[in-house]
Structure 1
Amino acid sequence: MPQTHDVVIVGGGHNGLTAAAYLARAGLDVLLLERDDHLGGAAVSAQAFEGVEARLSRYSYLVSLLPQRIIDDLGLDIRLVRRRFSSYTPDPRDPSRGLLVDTEAGPEASVAAFARVGAEADATAWDAFYHDTARVAEALFPTLTEPLPTRDDAKALVADDRVWNAFVERPLGETIDRCFGDDLVRGVVATDGLIGTFAELDDPSLEANRCFLYHVIGGGTGDWDVPVGGMGAVTAELARAAREAGAVLVTEAEVVAVEATVGGASASPAGALVRWRSDGVEHEASAPTMLANVAPAVLDRLIAAGADARRERATSSAGVAPRHGFPADDVPVPIPAVVRERLRHLATPEGAQVKVNLLLTRLPRLRDASVRPEQAFAGTFHINELETQLDAAYRTAARGAIPDPLPCEIYCHTLSDPSILSPELVASGAHTLTVFGLHVPDRLVERFGNDELRARLEEAVLASLDRVLAEPIRDVIMTDASGRPCIEVKTTHDLEEALAMPGGNIFHGPLSWPWAEPGAALDTPAARWGVATAHPSVLLCGSGAVRGGAVSGIGGHNAAMAVLESRG
């Protein structure tokens, strides 16, 4: 007989842990299953380099969308450091100069910073533009932990048709080009619409707009903060809160199938049966509700596996062998494995980035002598991200090649929080760099093969850096205990293998607007909270939920609220 619980959660990433903590604190019997040997999913810290005492945020690395409400509700001891320097962008047209955006600079200093790259006229436009995004952030961020507003509700909260139209109705590229005149400034602004998203800025699907919105509304300010202790410190606190509340968290438990029942007068009660393997032994657990902290595409596969198991039981009990073709009326047609795999491939989301972790003996020198490396790397360091370069990179990748130069975003965790390094490394002047390369779609894996693509992307990232540095980046990369350079490259395929993110998509699929569109059914708690699936007993609690994506806990919070509302 299967174990019975009030809720079973599949996936032990930060959202699953958030949901487990809320539900267990409400007195529910919660079982969480995680396939890996540790909790945290993409929000983990790891010693990436042999014999080097540095715990890097291996995948996700900054925090913006985690609401203070969740931190307070769960009593989390999480410290976030606000960065003084928003960004530094060496000018690819002349790397001896660059744009340093200092949040503490006065108006005159700000104008002078833009003037250094020939964009003095854009200084005022910059302030006006981000005043508009702040208005959107203040209006919409509080709604992310409430039942879904309608589109009309969200528009009324923004209360400015000009601002709404600029960010929601018109392509992002059109808005940026209307506001700014300089290619470099346009590119710096545009990157928030492209992180992890393979899209053109002027695409009428508005994919870039949705990505941009989530990047500028976090905390009601749009600031991206450094988690003290690394990302692993965030999920460690969530796991602590869940365990102390009474949730059972099981690692090395690979879920292989989910059977969802609808319920009704002639059927068993609505619920879910979850089957998983641990140490070679199969286990089962049932619950009225299952929360899926996995990508929707992964959930579909688990549901399909559960349907196969149910079909096999039905045919066996009827004395009919499973067969292809036209079975008896009560036995569904099985889908051949080759067809299912093709459908899975077509339905797989596509990520579009490469993540590179570096450990340096010291920060590299810049070609721009007016800016110290400690300033340049303290915020987001943009390289080769003119708007025209971003457009060219998209077109290059769309035809199956690696962009050259590769647009990248970089940040240095250790300038804000050296605690992730041993005291000896701190004393030596060592630093980490996290590099996020844009416009590297998962389709490139099929063309090059993952090992070759990983090697090519490593070279592309380092070459992109070298274009703006006064010395080769390899000259300051530390070596590990075996003498290997401390470079860790994660392709989209690596993310899929390690984290079960289909196509390496860091958002688990296309991002949605944070509201309900006209005509959307909001007749159940799951629908009202944006966590519904086609199966009433199965709810999304991860990045694939409406308002999912990034390290926020919002998907987990909203799924937990839907469960509690449904239980009265």
Structure 2
Amino acid sequence: MDSSYDVIVVGGGHNALTAAAYLSREGLSTLLLERLDHTGGAAVSAEAFSGTGVRLSRYSYLVSVLPDRVVADLGLDLDLRSRGTASYTPVRRGGRDLGLLAERPEGAATAASFREVTGGDTEYTAWQEWYDGVEQLAGVVAPTLTAPLPRARALSPQTDPSIWRDLVERPVGAALRERFADDLVRGVVGTDALIGTFADLEDPSLVQNRCLLYHLIGNGTGEWRVPVGGMGAVTDALAAAAGAGGTEIRTGASVTAVTPDGEVTWVEGGTERRARATHVLSGVAPYVLDGLLGDLAPTGRPAGSQLKINLLLDRLPRLRSGADPAVAFAGTFHVAESAEELRTAYSEAAAGRIPTRPPGELYCHSLTDPSILGPLAGDGVHTLTYFGLHMSAALFETDRERAKQEALGRAIATIDEVLAEPLLDCVRRDRDGRLCIEAKVPQDVEDDLAMPGGHIFHGDLDWPWADDEEPLDTPARRWGVETGLPGVLVCGSGARRGGAVSGLGGHNAAMAVLESR
């Protein structure tokens, strides 16, 4: 046995670092073990294209659910910037190329855009009513995310009954059909329900509703902000906080086993090591933790659903609508995401076919944070990130590279439909003459980050509250981080309130440990 600690944290992602920072600052001896040669997990910045000096947010890329309270508690040195555009959605109607614009904050241009695209003011009024209700619900739910789990019965009376019904009690697709007459508006509102989640908007399981909820409630506003310096700045700040508290951080340390009584075995530098702790916190997916605990046939293997494309452009492409690319690409740029297009793509993928016209979203982070461009800042160069929906892991199981290239080609062709020039004509080349394009499917995410099935949330998201009859009789249960073993807790995205770059799993696991002292 090498040594003993109060806490051993398995994994070095942002949640693991959050837990370590809280606990070490409270004086608990804390060891954090990360198998890669760096911490950060999916929240990292990297030079994806050789010789460019540009550091992309390679996997995760925006921040919303990370509570301001966690940032303040840990003294994180972060600059999270608002985007001037919330979203832009190109559309062709009546023989004209138009675009549905949502500013941040919304103003006259948003109202005029809705009027031009939908033919009147009715849809914009419905849009405002929906998001007013959502913001009221977010104001109720967001403060509870860093507290013990509330009961659903305590929350629902504080919210608009129609919003609670539409988000929590029935498929959101049905709600959108009733609230909005325009199919494009339905899709724009509903698309956040499908990020990393393979489901139809009408799925009776409501997995899509839970995904949508997390995309709407961050800090009571649901705003998604760009971290200056990229996502790596977030985890660098968390690692600094953990280190300042006294956390012993070991990278290149691959955990191979965890026992129920707190013994952890890992391999570091070719040597097997062991240590024991009162509490072991798991920042890895619950499926992975099952294997570390000795379950040779863990159940419930997750399966992700996304196509991630990173690009570096010499210039932003011109749009058929004539809109200013610097405005259109500054927020979430929707492609083939009307409700009908989403439904068609899901049906094709569910039948085992790569969607003919993949729905997806584009983000240009360098418009908000040019610092990530390094030496290329000011030269008209920009990053562009695409997140494709309904790209389930099953589509890439048989022949990953062939299927990936097919999916990439279809995604680019669908994007080109709304551009006045081919996207590939705008893509920069790296120092070796290769196009600066990087595509990742769920299997690539699993290979890179050990997320089983490439599921970016470590599994389907759960409601951020307890059922009315659910037992909350231990600190781990009260904070939504239990595993069934008293000394082993979940601190990653697989925690009850997990998913996204939030730090919630880490914060809540730390609170459970402190409560149990």
The reply to whether TM is greater than 0.5 is yes
Offset at 1:64? 0.2
1:48-88 deviations in Å (ceiling 9; x for gaps)? 00111100000000000011111111011100011121100
- Unpaired runs of at least 5, structure 1: 262-271, 306-339
Matched, 1:295 2:285: yes
> Take 1:119 and 1:132, find their aligned partners in 2: how far apart are those partners?
24
- Cα distance per residue 1:374-408 (max 9 Å; x no partner): 00000100001110000000000001111011101
Partner of 1:434: 385
- 1:136 counterpart residue number: 137
Deviations, residues 402-423 of structure 1 (Å, cap 9, x unaligned) = 1011101111000000001123
Contact 1:95 / 1:367 at 8 angstroms: preserved in 2? Answer: no
Gaps of 5+ in 2: none
Q: Give the structure 2 partner of residue 68 of structure 1.
A: 68
User: CA contact under 8 A between 1:140 and 1:157: conserved in structure 2?
Assistant: no
User: What is the number of residues matched between the two proteins?
Assistant: 515
CA distance in 2, matches of 1:88, 1:520: 42
Following superposition, the deviation at residue 92 of structure 1 comes to 5.1
**TM-score (structure 1 length as normaliser):** 0.89
Alignment of 1:222-371 (within 5 A): 222-261=222-261, 272-304=262-294, 340=296, 343-344=297-298, 347-369=300-322, 371=323
How far apart are the structure 2 equivalents of 1:523 and 1:274? 27
**Secondary structure of residue in 2 paired with 1:510:** coil
Q: What does residue 446 of structure 1 align with?
A: 397
Inter-partner Cα distance in structure 2 for 1:510 and 1:105? 32
RMSD: 1.2
Q: d(CA) in 1 for partners of 2:486 and 2:312?
A: 47
Alignment of 1:15-94 (within 5 A): 15-91=15-91
Larger radius of gyration: 1
SS at match of 1:154: helix
Contact map agreement 1:410 1:435 (CA 8 A) in 2: yes
User: Equivalent residue of 2:493, what SS?
Assistant: coil
Question: Superposition pairs for residues 137-152 of structure 1, below 5 Å?
Answer: 137-152=138-153
TM-aligned CA distance change 1:95 to 1:27, over 3 Å: farther
Task: Give the 3-state SS of the residue equivalent to 1:276 in structure 2.
Answer: strand
SS at match of 1:560: helix
CA deviations on 1:311-347 (whole Å, 9 max, x unpaired) are xxxxxxxxxxxxxxxxxxxxxxxxxxxxx5xx55x62
- How far 1:118 moved relative to its partner? 2.5
1:109, CA displacement in angstroms?
A: 3.6
Q: 1:173-223: per-residue Cα shift (whole Å, max 9, x none)?
A: 011111111111111001010110001111111111100000000110010
The one-letter code matched in structure 1 to 2:289 is: L
CA shift, 1:155, in A, is 1.2
Q: Which amino acid aligns with 2:493?
A: S
Structure 1 position 500 matched with structure 2 position 450 = yes
Q: Can you list the C-alpha shifts for 1:270-321, whole angstroms capped at 9, x where unaligned? A: xx1110001211000100100000110000011116xxxxxxxxxxxxxxxx
State the alpha-carbon separation in 2 of the partners of residues 24 and 18 from structure 1: 10
**Cα distance in 1, alignment partners of residues 198 and 173 from structure 2:** 14
The one-letter code of the counterpart of 1:377 is F
Cα 1:119/1:211, change in 2 over 3 Å: farther
Structure 1 partner of 2:187: 187
* Contact 1:37–1:251, Cα closer than 8 Å, also in 2: yes
Q: Write out per-residue CA displacement over residues 100-119 of structure 1, whole angstroms, 9 at most, x where no aligned residue.
A: 1113443x543321122225
Q: How far has the Cα of 1:446 moved from its partner?
A: 1.7
One-letter amino acid matched to 1:298: V
Q: CA deviation at 1:134?
A: 0.2
Tell me the distance in 2 between the aligned counterparts of 1:491 and 1:95. 34
Whether the 8 Å CA contact 2:210–2:462 is kept in 1: the answer is yes
Deviation at 1:11, TM superposition (A): 0.4
**Among 554, 563, 566, the residue aligned to 2:504:** 554
TM-score by length of structure 2 reads 0.98
Higher strand share: 2
Question: How far apart in 2 are the matches of 1:103 and 1:64?
Answer: 15
Q: Distance in 1 between matches of 2:101 and 2:174?
A: 25
Look up the match of 1:11: 11
Equivalent residue letter for 2:231 = M
Change (3 A) 1:451 1:148: same
Partner secondary structure for residue 468 of structure 1: coil
The separation in 2 between residues aligned to 1:104 and 1:13, in whole angstroms, is 32
For the 8 Å contact 2:55–2:374, the answer to whether it is kept is: no
The CA deviation at 1:484 is 0.3
SS at match of 2:89: strand
